[in-house]
Structures are given as C-alpha cells and as structure tokens.
Structure 1
Amino acid sequence: MRVPEAALEAALDARRVVVVTGAGMSAESGVPTFRDAQTGLWERYAAEDLATPEAWDRDPAFVWAWYLSRFGAVAHVEPNAGHRAVARWAALADVRVVTQNVDDLHERAGSRDVVHLHGSLASFRCARCETAYAGTVDVPDTEVDRVDPPTCPRCGGRVRPGVVWFGELLPLDAWEQAVALVEAADLVLVVGTSGIVHPAAGLPAVARRAGAAVVEVNPLETDVSDVAHVVWRESAAMALPALVDSLAPALERRRGQA
C-alpha cells in the first residue's frame, strides 16, 4: 500500500507522536460502535438512555447488565493490525496513545500508558466513594436484562462501570494529560474518530495551534478533515501497518545511532 508522502515525512521528522483513536479503530476488531451496540435484549433502548447517571439511579441492575454484555463482547475480540502497528511503532519511537474508546485493545496489543478519555470497560469503581473496585466481575453465560452490581468493600455502595456517562465530565487527569501530550507533539495522528464528540473532538485543533502536524486516517470525511494537514482515506487496520512498515528501517537505524 502506498503511504502518502506528506504523512510519511511528518512521521519521520517527528520526535514525539500522539495517536488519537476513536470508535473506527476498534470497529475493525468487531467491537460495535457505541450507538450500534443495541442488540438482543437491548435493541428497544437507545444507548444514550442507558449511559446516564439518571438511568443508573433509576435501575442499576438493568444498566449493570447492559455493561456486562458490552464487557463480555469486548473480551471475545482481538486487537487488529492497526492496534498492533501502533504498539510496534511505540517500541521504536516516542509514541503515545490517547483514545476515546472504552475497550482495552490498545493495551492488549502492547501499548502502555494509554490515556482513556472516556474511561474503560475494564475498570470499575464505587458509585458512592469513587474507590476503584478490584474484585471479580462475573459476566453471565446467557444474556439477561438484570444483574445486581457488586458492593464496594470500603463503603458498601454499588460498584459502577468505570466509563464516562452522558452528563458527566471527563476525568480531569486524563483530559489534562491528553492536552499536554498533543501540545508537546510534533505529529498527531487522528484515527477512526468522527470528530463530533466533545471535548475530545477539539484535540486535533489544539495540536495544530501548538504547531503539530495533524494527519487523519479515516475512510470517511469527518469533522477532523478540515483541521488535518494530511487526510488519508484508509482504514486503521490497513494504513497503520503500512505506515509503520515504511518507518521501521529509518527508526531502527536512528535507535542504533543513539
């Protein structure tokens, strides 16, 4: 596959790279996008109706069962070639990952210190005292519409999914870290994101104002396209391995000379 020359040059010149990923990245692994996750028992409900503090307060067992179904679905898919390419790139250069996705596919592919802007399905915390929950979370063998959440061993409150719901603020530490990373980057690669979910959608513009080259990888035109210096109309699983394959010889020589 031919890598756009401008994208390749920007990647070769960059000393600090940030890869910002969205739902399209994980969709290639078979993870349904948030609004496509409604199947089976959940098809009568809008995802937005289940991902709010109000829904949790109204019926925590119902919301918990839905999140267990999502958690179980992610556990049965694998990182794709795009996830693995990013991890390989990070082994050769200073590459960090900021993701809007709540799955752990970047980590399972080998990326470290991934910044999760919207939280993670693989983390849980107490809804009352915010303490992280390290206990076992059992996913039912069959689809059910109600499961009582575990209780917090510290305060007895209900354990909730460690994700950001509609109406909630992003985790401040994750947001500040993401902004600091893109402001310090030479290259920000925006992969598989629509650019419509704020404030995360503003990161490419933050990067551009700070002087970074912005490259979009997406088969479709998005709200990021006008911000990007380079637009690459390709999927993550195709584009990222091609880019890293092209970069690898030069990066390996650079590392050997360091």
Structure 2
Amino acid sequence: MGSNEGNFFGINRVTSGIKLTALWLRRAKSAVVFTGAGISTESGIPDFRSPGGVWSKYRTVYFDEFCESPAARHEYWAQKTEAHVEFAAAEPNTGHRTIAKWEAQDRIRGVITQNIDGLHKLAGSQDVLELHGTAREVSCLDCNARFPVDPFVEQFRATSVVPPCPDCREGRLKHATVSFGQMLPEQTLHRAQRWCEEADLVISVGSSLVVYPAAGLPELAKRRGAKLVIINRDETGLDAIADMLIEGSCGEALEAIDAAL
C-alpha cells in the first residue's frame, strides 16, 4: 500500500469515527466529557511533565513537606510562580468552547477535568469537576479562606517571601490544587464517580489515562456499560477498552464532531 492510500484510509477512519461519535452523542441521555492536559496544550499551556517542563526542572514538593517545612513552602511557591506565567494569559481554544456549547445545549452533563488551568470555566462551562483543583485560586490550609491567585503570585515574585493568609494572618497559603501526597477533593471525586456510573457515553479528550484515581473514572463508566471515546494525539492507558479512538488535535476533533451533530 502506497503512502497516499495509507493517508486516504487513515482519513476515512477518522471521518467515520467522527460521524459515529456524533451519532452516539446525539442519542446519549447522560454523556460526560473527561479532559486532560492535551486539550490545553492547544491554548499554549505546556505539559509540565514533558522534558523542559516545570516538573522536570524541580524536585517534587510533597504535601506533607509543604505542611511541615517553611523551606519546602518557599520551593513550592517558586515552582508555582514560574508555572503561573505559562498559563495566566492563556485563553480557551475551540475544544474548550465546543464542550461549553454542548453543555449549554444539554448534550452533556458536564466536564470532569484533570486540568488546573480553569479554561473550561473561562470558556463558559458551568458544571466542571476539577479533580486536581484550580491554580487560579489560593486557599489557606488553616482557615479554609480562598482568594484569587494573581496578587499573591505578584507578591512572591516581588519579595521572594511566601505570603501569609490575609484572613488568619499566619495560615499556610497554598495554591488550590492537589499536591503529590494530597488526597483529591472527596466531594468532587464522589460526584465524578456518580456521573460515570450513570453515564451512557464518556468522551475522553487529551488525557494519557494513566494517572489514577482520575483515569479510573472513564474505566468505571465503561464497566457500567457506557461507550468510551478517546481523543488524543498519542496512545493512552485505556485504548484497549475504548469503543472509538480518534487520533490527532483535540480541538479539531471536537469541532468536527460538533459539525457532524
């Protein structure tokens, strides 16, 4: 088979997958979209796990270290301040906007995301379960107060001093994200599990589906009888059980599915 034929059949396979996914979405009574870093790289946000990413340049600061050590808290804030620059100016892309449109049209129940960038909410999605929290806010571990993140990042950048909680004055202020060694927010995880138990279709977008417990959610839906569609540039941990695999750009695939509805 020559290269042109290979491309032809590849395009046909993707087109068929787009059309079938659109059909499943039209018929679904409880569809859920599950997203990972791949949808946000198309907004210019790097995958921090990749070579050269923030995580490859720093050691991991575990949650218990953050709680116990002022030095660890300083290192954490240095990492988060650098990462903040990467996404603060990012805007939702066509993938985020398409998902928000589907929710507004009652085609999907909502979004479960592994991402901490807040782009789904900026795109207009209303029911977003942020499994790993949001980097657009900080929270106090001692009094539970929450604040927008930007002033505290600017304060740390200017002073290199970890900012204290403005409410309780001495509280440990941390980005409202889940750190290594920290439990996922229990209420959010339980809601996500319920959505997946009740789903008849899950569309996974831009996730490698290897980070648990989050990756277990599409798997749970599949076990309960839902169809599983995976949209990603690379192989994922759940390709073997997927009903449909669509390789390529997340935004382009979602836009094509929307056009086929």
Determine if the TM-score, normalized by the shorter chain, exceeds 0.5: yes
Residue 229 of structure 1 and its aligned partner are, at CA, apart by: 0.9
Distance in 2 between residues matched to 1:214 and 1:117, nearest whole Å: 19
Question: Does 1:54 find its partner at 2:65?
Answer: yes
Q: Which amino acid aligns with 2:251?
A: A
User: Could you say which residue in structure 2 is the equivalent of 1:129?
Assistant: 143
Residue 154 of structure 1 and its aligned partner are, at CA, apart by: 3.0
Q: Secondary structure at the match of 1:168?
A: coil
Question: Does 1:92 find its partner at 2:102?
Answer: no
User: Could you say which residue in structure 1 is the equivalent of 2:257?
Assistant: 243
The residue correspondences of 1:112-191 to structure 2 (distance < 5 A) are 112-133=126-147, 137-140=151-154, 146-154=160-168, 156-191=170-205
Number of equivalent positions: 244
Change (3 A) 1:141 1:176: closer
Distance in 2 between residues matched to 1:30 and 1:143, nearest whole Å: 22
Distance in 2 between residues matched to 1:39 and 1:204, nearest whole Å: 27
Counting aligned pairs with the same residue, the percent is 36
Normalised TM-score (structure 1): 0.85
User: Could you say which residue in structure 2 is the equivalent of 1:68?
Assistant: 81
Q: Secondary structure at the match of 2:210?
A: coil
What runs of 5+ residues in structure 1 fail to find an aligned partner? 248-258
Residue 220 of structure 1 and its aligned partner are, at CA, apart by: 1.2
Contact 1:65/1:144, CA 8 A, preserved across alignment: no
Q: 1:28 aligns with which of 42, 45, 58?
A: 42
Q: Which amino acid aligns with 2:46?
A: P
Structure 1 residue runs of 4 or more that deviate by more than 3 Å after TM superposition: 36-40, 50-53, 133-136, 138-147
Bigger Cα displacement from structure 2, 53-62 vs 192-201? 53-62
Distance in 1 between residues matched to 2:142 and 2:50, nearest whole Å: 30
Distance in 1 between residues matched to 2:156 and 2:77, nearest whole Å: 14
Q: Which amino acid aligns with 1:189?
A: I
Question: Does 1:101 find its partner at 2:115?
Answer: yes
User: Could you say which residue in structure 1 is the equivalent of 2:239?
Assistant: 225
Residue 136 of structure 1 and its aligned partner are, at CA, apart by: 6.2
Contact 1:29/1:80, CA 8 A, preserved across alignment: yes
Contact 1:53/1:165, CA 8 A, preserved across alignment: no
Contact 2:231/2:246, CA 8 A, preserved across alignment: yes
Normalised TM-score (structure 2): 0.84
Cα-to-partner distance string for 1:128-150 (whole Å, 9 max, x where unaligned): 23333468624339967933223
Distance in 2 between residues matched to 1:75 and 1:195, nearest whole Å: 25
User: Could you say which residue in structure 2 is the equivalent of 1:12?
Assistant: 26
> For the aligned residues, what is the CA RMSD?
2.6
Distance in 2 between residues matched to 1:26 and 1:172, nearest whole Å: 25
